[in-house]
Structure 1
């Protein structure tokens, strides 16, 4: 495993995942329905991983895998947006961000373990934002989604928001019935 490999490839090797999904949709179709650009890191992740669960904790719906997976991705993102916008209306200090489709809003790409994981639709370098679903804290990782997941499973993240000891959960489980 070399550092010049794409982060999604390094993550795939770390988790022992060797089965790439066959995309059933194009990125143009996904971005048209989402109404925002998908970051390069999420695209790379989607080339290596189908819809499934990282470490049994972080659920990911591969938006380009199939119509069903895209519907689940969009539905989950919309539900998270509505929940967090409502929470923000009650307590802006604990939920200070904008959420897609608000301009530059956060897009939920993963959920589980009582946390939600986002990418920002603002122009600029990729980063991952994450929060406790109850508003007990936010964190940010300055890199792509696969870089974040790789650092998480290597126990290289220093955060008080997420649970620790991810190195013992180095696996990926595919959710059945999402193929194109």
Structure 2
């Protein structure tokens, strides 16, 4: 066997292991978020929208719909639920009273943020084992990975515009139902 072929196999194995580790981490992050949502008494998708609002800052419902990929009607429902729970508020634009922004209520964000403290502490412990150079690499990886996920999401959304009969077949195995 040639050394380059061996390196190719080793790289493929490493990439496979990295993909699986990222999938596990992503899945656990989703499960952690679901647990936070359950404890907070809100839907996981609503919590994710709140997190996006927190990261984006004060935005319009249209912008939130754009960022999440949800319809404006769905966003109205999310904002209504979050507002009822006291987590966000609607704010009119001072310059154009017709324009409404959605903003996170800081005190509410702090309350929900308390549920993330154990995860933050665990990650701080993990990050403490990395040099500044390694942290910069991880940051670059996270940014590049985010861009990759955005691109993949947009490509997948393209299937929504494709008639169902022209979409790639999805064959799921099903078990026979018991009588």
TM-score interval (norm. to shorter): under 0.3
More helix by share: 2
More strand by share: 1
Greater relative contact order (Cα < 8 A, sep 6+): 1
